[in-house]
Amino acid sequence: MTTPPPPPEDGDLFVNTNHTSSTENDLPTLFISSYGHRVGPLLPTAQVSIDLRNLPNPPKNLRTGQTGLSKALRDYLFSMDEVQRRFEEVITRISSRLQEARENGEDQIRVGVCCELGKHRSVAVVEELGKTRFPGWNVVVAHRDVHLKRSNQKDRSRRNRDLNDSD
């Protein structure tokens, strides 16, 4: 049994090594990253951007304590026709961009997939994309914001009050 990687440092991407194919070959690399729109833009900028904020969020009881890395959460999301249709659209869009990249001799493509916080919908979709075959490409999956702590409402209210008091 292998030891899991240490938690990421601030600003580092969480790389799920379950989906990292060997890049010790001559194949080009497809980097697929999840991130939270609220946290800020993905850097370096992705050539293909996918926004999943319009997909339904899993129910709170399923979201609490779980992320898109959880099979139960992914199973719930992908049981919805809307999510399955959107996933197929995403695969088509990525495949089209990969064909274009191949024709132009590009050896790296970056895909960014966001939802509001980068913990549930985007992570679930990126995990499933990591299982998808993109022939002729190495696939590397990463999650920028999956392990960020969500600031709770009290802290936010306190900060707003402190800002208003300083006026």
What is the residue extent of each domain of the chain? 14-165
> Which stretch of DSSP H or E encloses residue 140?
strand 138-143
148-162 pLDDT per residue, tens: 987 654 444 444 444
Strand order in the sheet with 29-36: 14-15, 138-143, 29-36, 108-115, 48-51
End-to-end alpha carbon distance in the chain: 57
Cα dihedral angle (62, 113, 85, 150), rounded to 10 degrees?
A: 20
8-34 pLDDT per residue, tens: 455 555 565 544 545 568 899 999 999
Phi, psi for residue 92 in degrees, rounded to 5? -60, -45
